[in-house]
Amino acid sequence: MPTNRETWEQAFGSSTVRDADFTTMSGIALEPVYGPESESSDGPSDYPGQFPYTRGPYPSMYRSKLWTMRMFAGFGTADDTNWRFKEIIKSGGDGLSTAFDMPTLLGIDSDDPMALGEVGRCGVAIDSLADMEDLYAGIDLDTTTTSMTINSPAAVIFAMYVAQAEKAGVPRARLGGTLQNDILKEYQAQKEFVFPPRASMRLVRDTIKFCAAEMPRWHSISISGYHIREAGSTAVEELAFTLANGFAYVELAMQAGLPVDAFAPRLSFFFNAHIDFFEEIAKYRAARRVWARWLRDRYGAKVERSMQLRFHTQTAGVSLTAQQPEVNVVRTAIEALAGVLGGTQSLHTNSMDEAMALPTEKTARIALRTQQVIAHETNVAHVADPLGGSWYVEHLTEEVERQAEELFSYLDQLGGGSMLEGVIKGIEDNWFQGKIADSAYDLERRFNTGRRIVVGVNAFTEGSEEAQIPLLQITNEDETRQLKRLEQVRQSRDQSAVDAALRRIETEAADPEVNLMPALIDAVRAYATLGEVMGSLGIVFGRHVEVPTI
């Protein structure tokens, strides 16, 4: 008697098959169906909350607490964004996530000549503590957690956050939230770097040490694959590069004398949710498993929380289309569902208009409502790791993990047994940048040949010419208002206190043994601007220049 498998193989063999690309977005070839024979011997026997946490970091997952609906927002001046934050809280969002404008992300002031035309455009403009005070005015930071997407100047912006919260009466030990502070992926993908890698890593070390000592509720880094993916990597590269960066930060902090279990519990991750549904879910499951194994086996973590990878998810901005933008609601919903089925701890859903502009209040609300439908109408959150045991998803999880391990081996060798050195060398050699550009071009070619369809772009284009939906307009008025605010700050502060604080930063920056956080907090309290503080650091640290490659 033939087995069911054999009978199926025969029947499948005589079926006509569509001429289509049956691979994942990462190029993993897929079988038409998976069965028990594709299960490897070490398939997960673990339950949620059990090592290696393939099925989730916590035993009860969403039965205890749904994911945090953390909507990313920021535009114009601090007042504008403060108003949007309050709208988000009113609409049922339960965490804040701050988007900064380009000058802030690069650590320059709004009145710097390079900031021309960029102030408040794709995030909120923050020049000094005065802006930070307005940004969070009237928001209870004791109960609301805040995430800040900032990297090169992360330590300075963090100093401003601590200073403004303490001024508002919330001691730093009670503050909960996340600083992105992931500088490595800036050199690899997002490209908002200022100082050279090693100087930047010193600032990261200082924030990790500061948080470990004084801010038990704060996540000192959010190790981010999101931007790596948006820059064009595959899902496998997103996972591998992100975790490699994570290992680099672990080695950095251990070299600085911190025991792994003193800081690893406060590391968090940030992944993309792209449109290849099952591959994304496999990616999250593999990520948890890889992290747990490396932290225990290579870095000697003993505390469970050090091994439990927790992550934020954002749906893929690059998957959105300018054509027929309403269809983006559907894409975002599917991507968000992948994040939830993959066990994310928090989620941002993009708005339908984000291929063209920052979201309007209405489109941002629809994006939040999308999460609320998933959370409260579909019942998908009732059961942890609902795809665990699926032969397909288990196979894909193993395959993603296997391919990631190959990339780790390369980096480990490159660094002579150190992931920290391997990652820095990989940046200096343009290895990461080249890999990402190759993958981006490969995907583009698949779009161009029609092997991958994007609805409304290279197929089903009827309706793509229709009038666009109303977009958020950022005017030059915001820039003018911000320049006035900055001018007022410069006029009203005690200049000699600022000068002294900046001199202290320069002195302490030159001594790698010193933790810069106290000096940074004192300087921003004196209303030294972001650009001034970064300038003082830059005198000692210098600037990073990327060798342009195509």
Partner 1 sequence: MPGQRILIAKVGLDGHDRGIKVVARILRDAGYEVIYTGLFQTPATVAAAAVDEDVDAIGLSMLSGAHMTLAPLVISETRARGVDIPVIVGGIVPEPDIVKLKEMGVAAVLTPGATSAQIVAEVAAALAAYA
Measured between alpha carbons, how far is 396 from 24 in angstroms, rounded to an integer?
A: 10
Taking the complex as a whole, how short is the minimal distance between the CB of residue 447 and partner 1, in angstroms? 8
Using CB under 8 A, which of the segments 159-167, 187-195, 237-245, 518-526 binds partner 1? Answer: 187-195
Contact by Cβ (8 Å): 289, 53: yes
Q: How many CB atoms lie within 10 A of CB 512?
A: 13
Residue 447 found at the interface with partner 1 (CB under 8 A): yes
Q: Give me the amino acid identity at 444.
A: E
Contact by Cβ (8 Å): 56, 49: yes
Adjacent-strand bridge partners of 312: 270, 346
Main-chain dihedrals φ then ψ at residue 346, nearest 5 degrees? -155, 160
Q: How many CB atoms lie within 10 A of CB 459?
A: 10
Residue 471 found at the interface with partner 1 (CB under 8 A): yes
Residue 451 found at the interface with partner 1 (CB under 8 A): no
Q: State which of residues 381, 453, 454, 497 lies at the interface with partner 1 (CB under 8 A).
A: 454
Residue 480 found at the interface with partner 1 (CB under 8 A): no
Nearer to partner 1, 67 or 193 (CB): 193
Q: State which of residues 122, 139, 303, 381 lies at the interface with partner 1 (CB under 8 A).
A: 122
Crossing angle, helix 530-541 and helix 495-509, to 10 degrees?
Answer: 30
Residue 469 found at the interface with partner 1 (CB under 8 A): no
Residue 204: C-alpha distances to residues 152, 221, 223, 515 (Å): 9, 8, 12, 10
Using CB under 8 A, which of the segments 13-21, 255-263, 414-422, 432-440 binds partner 1? Answer: 432-440
Nearer to partner 1, 225 or 232 (CB): 232
Q: Give me the amino acid identity at 85.
A: F
Check residue 542 and give left, alpha or beta (phi > 0: left; psi -120 to 50: alpha). left
Taking the complex as a whole, how short is the minimal distance between the CB of residue 278 and partner 1, in angstroms? 24
Residue 173 found at the interface with partner 1 (CB under 8 A): no
Taking the complex as a whole, how short is the minimal distance between the CB of residue 3 and partner 1, in angstroms? 47
Question: What is the 3-state composition of the chain as percent helix, strand, coil, each rounded to the nearest 5?
Answer: 50, 10, 40
Nearest 5°: the CA angle 505, 506, 510 is: 110
Q: State which of residues 78, 357, 374, 407 lies at the interface with partner 1 (CB under 8 A).
A: 357
Nearer to partner 1, 255 or 461 (CB): 461
Q: State which of residues 458, 483, 504, 540 lies at the interface with partner 1 (CB under 8 A).
A: 458
Nearer to partner 1, 44 or 103 (CB): 103
Residue 462 found at the interface with partner 1 (CB under 8 A): no
Taking the complex as a whole, how short is the minimal distance between the CB of residue 504 and partner 1, in angstroms? 28
Residue 459 found at the interface with partner 1 (CB under 8 A): no
Q: How many CB atoms lie within 10 A of CB 174?
A: 14
Measured between alpha carbons, how far is 481 from 76 in angstroms, rounded to an integer?
A: 9
Measured between alpha carbons, how far is 12 from 8 in angstroms, rounded to an integer?
A: 6
Taking the complex as a whole, how short is the minimal distance between the CB of residue 185 and partner 1, in angstroms? 11
Residue 355 found at the interface with partner 1 (CB under 8 A): yes
Residue 127 found at the interface with partner 1 (CB under 8 A): no
Q: How many CB atoms lie within 10 A of CB 390?
A: 16
Binding site for partner 1 (CB under 8 A): 102-103, 105-106, 108, 114-118, 121-122, 186, 190-193, 230-232, 318, 321-323, 355-357, 436-437, 440-441, 444, 447-448, 454, 457-458, 468, 471, 474, 545-550
